[in-house]
Amino acid sequence: MQIGIFSNDNEIARVGAQRIVDVYRNKENFVLGLATGSSPLPLYAELIRRHKAGDISFAHAQSFNLDEYVGLPRDHVEGYANFIHRNLIDHTDMPEGAAHGPDGWADDLNAGAAAYDQAIRDAGGIDIQVLGIGSDGHIGFNEPGGSLVSRTHVGVLTEQTRRDNARFFNGDIDAVPTHCVTQGLGTIMESRAHVFIATGQGKAEAVAQMIEGGVSGRWPASILQMHPDVMVLLDEAAASQLALGDFYREVWDKEHA
Ligand code: GLP
C-alpha cells in the first residue's frame, strides 16, 4: 500500500484526483469504480473542477458503483445511483448509459448481481476504484464475516452501519434499509488499482486493522493488503491508531519527493 497522511481534505482530494487523471491520460476509455458516502465527496468535487479545467474527460469512460440499497424507491434521494449522479456524473461529459450500478430493484436480485459482475467483465474490468470504509471495516457493503472472495451479492447491513448511515435518513435508523447489493470482495480485488479515502476519528480503528491487522473477514478491508496497487489517503484523525504512522509518512515523502 502507498499510505499518505494529510492535514486536510483538500489535499486528499487533490492527490486522489491526480491519481485518476493519470489513469485517464494512459487510457481515454478508462473504467472508473465509484463509492458513495461522505468521504469521497471532496474528491468528486475536485474531479469536476479538473474536468471543467479540461484535464480529464469522461466522454469515453464508463463507471461502476460499488453498491446499492435494497428497498428504497428508485427515485429516493439517498439511493446510491442517484447519489453518484448528483455528486459526479451529472457534472461531467459521461454519456447517458455509461454510468452503471448494482440493481437494487431487480425481481431476481441474485440474477441481477451476477449480471453486474458480468457487465464489469464485459467492460474490460475496472481500471481504478474509489473506496471508502465503514466504521466496522466494510468496503462496498461487505460486512464482517463474509467471504473474502465473494462476487457481487445481496447482503445484510450491520446495525452499526445502519446507525452510521442514519444521518442520511434524518437520523432515523428504521428508515435505513436492512439489505443491499454490493460488489463482492473478490470483485473489488479484480480492479486494477484503488484510491482509498478515510477521514475522521470514527474510522481510526478500522483503518489500523485494515493496514496493520491480519487479513481477516472480521475486518473486510484488510483484504486490500493482498492487492498490489492501493493508494490509501488518510487525514490525521483516521491515521491516529496506526502503530507505524511516522514510518508511512517517511516512505510517502521519499516516494513523492
Ligand atoms: C457506506 C458505503 C461505503 C462507504 C462507507 C463510508 O455505507 N456503502 O461504500 O465507504 O459507508 O461512508 P462515509 O464516507 O460516509 O463514512
Ligand 1 centroid to residue 254 C-alpha, Å: 31
- How far apart are the C-alpha atoms of 252 and 257, rounded to whole Å? 8
Return the pLDDT at 42.
98
- Using DSSP, state whether 34 is helix, strand or coil: strand
- Contact assessment for residue 19 and residue 43, using Cβ atoms and an 8 Å cutoff: no
| Predicted pLDDT at 257 | 82
User: Domain 2-255 - what CATH class?
Assistant: alpha beta
Residue 38, pLDDT score: 94
| The pLDDT value given to residue 18 | 98
Query: From first to last of its 257 residues, what are the pLDDT tens digits of the chain?
Result: 999 999 999 999 999 999 999 999 999 999 999 999 999 999 999 999 999 999 999 999 999 999 999 999 999 999 999 999 999 999 999 999 999 999 999 999 999 999 999 999 999 999 999 999 999 999 999 999 999 999 999 999 999 999 999 999 999 999 999 999 999 999 999 999 999 999 999 999 999 999 999 999 999 999 999 999 999 999 999 999 999 999 999 999 999 98
What 3-state DSSP class applies to 10?
helix
Q: How far is the CA of 161 from the centre of ligand 1 (A)?
A: 9
Q: Which of 130, 164, 187 to mutate to test the pocket of ligand 1 (most atoms within 8 A of CB)?
A: 164
State the residue for C-alpha cell 471543467. 52
User: From ligand 1's centre to the CA of 18, what distance in Å?
Assistant: 22
The answer to whether the CB of 198 falls within 8 A of the CB of 5 is no
* Full DSSP string of 191-247: SS-EEEEE-SGGGHHHHHHHHHS-SBTTBGGGGGGG-S-EEEEEETTTTTT-TTHHH
Stated as kind and residue range, the H or E segment containing 116 is helix 109-122
Predicted confidence at residue 226, as pLDDT, reads 98
Domain residue spans in the chain? 2-255
Residues carrying an active site annotation: 67, 136, 138, 143
Q: Give the pLDDT score at 92.
A: 98
What is the amino acid identity at position 240?
A: S
Tell me, yes or no, if the pTM score tops 0.95.
yes
Best of 9, 12, 38, 39 for a ligand 1 pocket test (most atoms within 8 Å of beta carbon): 39
What atom in ligand 1 is closest to the CA of residue 157? 7
Ligand 1 contacts (CB < 6 A) are 35-39, 66-67, 132-134, 140-141, 161, 165
Q: How many CB atoms lie within 10 A of CB 229?
A: 13
Burial track 87-96 (b if 16+ CB lie within 10 A, e otherwise): bbbebbebee
Confidence (pLDDT) at 245: 98
Contact 107, 9 (CB under 8 A): no
